[in-house]
């Protein structure tokens, strides 16, 4: 008895067809689908599902016209999204760094204007006694 295909099996086979490289035929598809499904499905089983039949017909049409468009793997889409996010973050941090440099130059000028020495500006912060608010027993 032929194996019934689950929704996951159908999606996996459609993805297989979308990324197909080389001549596509029902027998070759059945052979490749066996690794995904666990048993070799028949041509009739595959063609009875509209999603698989549509993907198969579309891929065959693309192969006949010679305009086979390769689908990018999901990992490339994820990488492209991460690159866009990192570029946006880099741009934001660059602007923030420029604003901080401008602020530092303004402070540097004001320190010079009011005769504040570099030694005073580089003085360490005072120690904070964090135990002073605790009750003594």
Could you say which residues of the chain have pLDDT below 70?
1-3, 67-71, 133-137
| Span 12-21, pLDDT tens digits | 999 889 888 7
| pLDDT at residue number 3 | 67
Q: What pLDDT score does 53 carry?
A: 92
pTM value is 0.49
Helix (H), strand (E), coil (C) string for the chain: CCCCCCHHHHHHHHHHHHCCCCCCCHHHHHHHHHHHHCCCCCHHHHHCCHHHHHHHHHHHHHHHHCCCCCCCCHHHHHHHHHHHHHHHHHHHHHHHHHHHHHHHHHHHHHHHHCCCCHHHHCCCCCCCCCCCCCCCC
């Amino acid at each position: 008895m032929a194996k019934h295909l689950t929704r996951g099996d159908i999606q996996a086979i459609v993805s297989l067809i979308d990324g197909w490289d080389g001549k596509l035929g029902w027998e070759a598809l059945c052979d490749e689908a066996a690794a995904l499904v666990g048993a070799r499905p028949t041509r009739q089983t595959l063609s009875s599902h509209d999603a698989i039949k549509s993907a198969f017909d579309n891929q065959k049409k693309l192969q006949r016209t010679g305009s086979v468009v390769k689908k990018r793997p999901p990992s490339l889409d994820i990488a492209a999204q991460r690159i866009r996010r990192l570029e946006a973050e880099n741009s934001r941090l660059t602007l923030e760094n420029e604003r901080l440099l401008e602020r530092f130059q303004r402070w540097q000028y004001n320190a010079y204007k009011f005769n504040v020495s570099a030694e005073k500006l580089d003085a360490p912060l005072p120690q904070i006694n964090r135990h002073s608010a605790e009750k003594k027993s």
